[in-house]
Amino acid sequence: MKNIFSYNTCIGKITIAEQDGYITNLFFANDKICNDYTIYESSEIKEAKQQLFEYLEGKRKKFNLKLNPQGTIFMKKVWSLLQDIDYGKIVSYQDIAIKLGNKNYVRAVGMANNKNPIPIFIPCHRVIGKNGKLVGYRGGMDIKEYLINLENSKCNI
């Protein structure tokens, strides 16, 4: 069964999806959600919500959730590398492309970031343009900037 449940957060409405014990999606307020979900706050969704709120309060730096993002093999490689970016750190799309073995993969890395079905839990907000500028974020640039600033706050020890 595919379950979803929504929460109001400091960055707007967040909907978390779960299937077979794995978190599969995180939707922002403006995302379109298909109708094949049951509205049910499963134990996995409750745990994801708890960890999300701790993160947004500056009390959590690493997530401990069972994730199952759906995508191509290449996308999954990118998403795996994103999970290795430490809290409070930022890297460029080119940095990720180089880790994948080819600096020319920059656009493909950008597309994989754009298709990340579980943002925040898979921290694609930590990836910026080579020139140091914030570029692209499905949740909106204001949320990306908020998350980067949250992680770089001197209050978060």
Asked, for residue 127, whether it belongs to a domain, the answer is yes
pLDDT of residue 97: 96
Q: How many domains does the chain have?
A: 2
Pair 91, 140 in one domain: yes
Asked, for residue 9, whether it belongs to a domain, the answer is yes
pLDDT of residue 131: 80
For 145, residues 6+ apart whose C-beta sits below 8 A from its C-beta are: 134
pLDDT of residue 135: 81
Task: Check if 124 is active-site.
Answer: yes
Pair 101, 141 in one domain: yes
The span from the CA of 99 to the CA of 84, in Å, is: 11
Find the distance separating the first CA and the last CA of the chain, reported in whole Å. 39
Pair 49, 110 in one domain: no
Full residue range of the structural domain in which residue 36 is found: 2-56
Asked, for residue 157, whether it belongs to a domain, the answer is no
The burial class, CB within 10 Å (0-12 / 13-18 / 19+), for 157 is exposed
Three-state DSSP at 128 gives strand
* Residue of 10, 34, 124, 155 marked catalytic: 124
Show pLDDT as tens, one digit a residue, over the chain (157 residues): 899 999 999 999 999 999 999 999 999 998 888 889 999 999 999 999 999 999 999 999 999 999 999 999 999 999 999 999 999 999 999 999 999 999 999 999 999 999 999 999 999 999 998 887 888 888 889 999 999 999 988 554 4
Pair type for strands 12-19 and 127-128: unpaired
pLDDT of residue 157: 43
pLDDT of residue 30: 87
